[in-house]
Structure 1
């Protein structure tokens, strides 16, 4: 007697082109997921990510566009269902940093709106849309999950990038809100708060924070790596932590542990 092969699960990863997003894609591919990778750019970095995903045995499609553009959210979800026939996981990883760090008293409405529209508003409404699709697509909802990548700045103050901190704090509440709304359907919602991670986004402050790490700003005295976050996502979507939702996991080397 022969059995039909089990259908692979499918994940959408926003901001999946490089850095933390790339590592998340790689770890999900290794866990047996096919992927819809969203990013605003299509370049050599994206090509490298696609090659890495496919070398790990996964099928990948690309959806180009900014999560800040809410008019694209339906088409993003349609692309996942059209190509793969299902959608099991959403990883909200896309986000932008402040263009120029500076005095909190000098934050402009334009820069504030730019950060909030991408990091918070866009993520909220994409999550809303994907959650609605998960609930209405006629497939079992138990075991699906939504991951929100926020930051240590969800709770730690950096006055030189106040609008970024506000956006990440809002993401923390977004994860909790959706965790309660979707719990009855068995859809787990989790927040990951990366600390000091070695990526292109932190390149400008590598020397400054590298010295602080050596001095013990975090008990684990090293830079975090994108793989530290990727492994965490892989664990959360595995279904091996079934009696949890709405939790925040600090991937930060202990940076956020209060100390005297």
Structure 2
């Protein structure tokens, strides 16, 4: 199951998993033409693809939603926590509103905690022959990079990173792997309003790789991690950031 599947990153993750032979549940807020088109494309790889909308911010509904996913699909072996929101308005830390702060915490951290909890409970109740995997997408901005205009977003992602470590420690003995992906500069809907600024930073050497990251690079890493072949890499965070976190001289 991939949350936030309608967006560019969600679609890239779904594509990489479909190519590896996974059956998929595409989660987003509601049905949309984009989701139907994505599902049609993914089915050409031979796997089963279901669209199952759910607002993961409605945390009381998540146990029932996960039960519905399991009933429809016959099981759930991989969760990709990809859904997320940005700030309501980019600006000074001193101007952050309670509405923007609460929204980031509610979707980027609270919702993903309780969805992960519901999925983990299912996995523990239904042992499987293969290792299961929970992968959470955070950001390069959780510790090494401090943004001047995205405080509430970065704070919510930092909490999410810590969440991964807690679930990893709890679930590793149960053959359930928990990993974190920290993307750098990716061309997504979320970064579209700051494209010019980021282009300039890249040109100035802020990213050692010298370019934007491509969404398929994240998808490929997630699909590899979902294979169950990294069982001793408990709670690892993988940076897909072109070296953005480095301080170079």
TM-score range, shorter chain: over 0.9
- CA deviation digits over 1:222-247, x for unaligned, max 9? 11111011001011011222221101
Q: Is 2:100 the counterpart of 1:111?
A: yes
* Runs of 4+ residues over 3 Å off in structure 1: none
TM-score calculated relative to the size of structure 1:
0.92
State the TM-score, normalized to the length of structure 2.
0.96
What's 1:21 paired with? 10
Match for residue 213 of structure 2?
Answer: 224
Mapped pair 1:59 → 2:37: no
Q: Which residue of 2 aligns with 1:153?
A: 141
Q: Which runs of 5+ in 2 are unaligned?
A: none
Q: Identify which of 121, 124, 127 aligns with 1:132.
A: 121
| Superposition map of 1:50-129 within 5 A | 50-129=39-118
Shift of 1:65: 2.2
What is the distance in 2 between the residues matched to 1:180 and 1:212? Answer: 37
Shift of 1:79: 2.2
Of residues 216-225 and 68-77 in structure 1, the stretch that sits farther from structure 2 once superposed is 68-77
User: 2:199 is matched with which residue?
Assistant: 210
For 2:227 and 2:188, the matched residues in 1 are separated by 25
Equivalent in the alignment of 1:248:
237
Offset, 1:100:
1.0
Decide whether the 8 Å contact of 2:130 with 2:228 is kept in 1. Answer: no
Q: Is the 8 A contact 2:35 2:51 kept in 1?
A: no
Measured on the aligned residues, the alpha-carbon RMSD in Å equals 1.2
